[in-house]
Chains A and B, each alone.
Chain A
């Protein structure tokens, strides 16, 4: 870590916990999206966090559905 050159050298993807990088990604998208779609910027950060939370839950749900499809539905269909 001491020899790491930021920007030029990759910092890494947290290994098995790479999926945690979804959260800052969704937060960045939420900030820029809400900044352009809010009529007034009162309560901006509260709405950003709510939007980020909803997006994360939606993407997590899609991941869960894909997991069930790949590991449950497909083996059932192949077995049947």
Chain B
């Protein structure tokens, strides 16, 4: 099976990869593939925001769900901001109220959790949405890293 060695000689777009992590799709936009970047970014942001709408910011929690968070953080600072909102707004009781919850251990002190915390499938599905958004953004970041920079000027009629 023949491999195209010319693609291996292309320099990697590290800047585009960084921009792609900052904002999903921005990596492709920065190297001239605006339409492709907008499509990719809208899919990822749609997934992430959809997950937050379904399960709330409680879906992103680096302390309670670290493995899920590692996947979610692939979506960029939006995941870090969601985790911050979860800690600063919900867990502190700034929004909603803190209510006692039964402890799983008999002698442990009962913990207080936000009244906005979910224990329904909404949390699981929201967590899954956000995690898949993060993982898909890793795919998009790798695409931006390897993609050839667009040569044609904008508005030349080619779909890129």
Beyond A32-B40, A40-B159, A41-B39, whether A6 also contacts B53 by CB under 8 A is: yes
Residue of A nearest to B158 (CB): A40
Q: Could you tell me the distance between the alpha carbons of A10 and B36 in the complex, rounded to whole angstroms?
A: 31
Interface residue from A11, A31, A41 paired with B54 (Cβ < 8 Å): A11
Q: Are A29 and B56 in contact (CB under 8 A)?
A: no
With a CB–CB cut-off of 8 A, which chain B residues contact A44? 39
Q: Inside 8 A of B158's CB, which chain A residues have their CB? A: 40
Shortest CB-to-CB span from A38 to chain B, Å, is: 8
- In the complex, A40 Cα to B152 Cα: how many Å? 14
Q: Is the interface of B mostly helix, strand, loop or mixed?
A: helix
A30 to B28, CA, bound (A): 17
Q: Which chain A residues (21-49) contact chain B, with CB distance < 8 Å?
A: 21, 24-25, 27-36, 38, 40-42, 44
Cβ–Cβ contact A7 & B160, under 8 A: no
Closest chain B residue to A42 by CB distance? Answer: B159
Spell out A's residues near B (CB within 8 Å). 5-13, 18, 21, 24-25, 27-36, 38, 40-42, 44
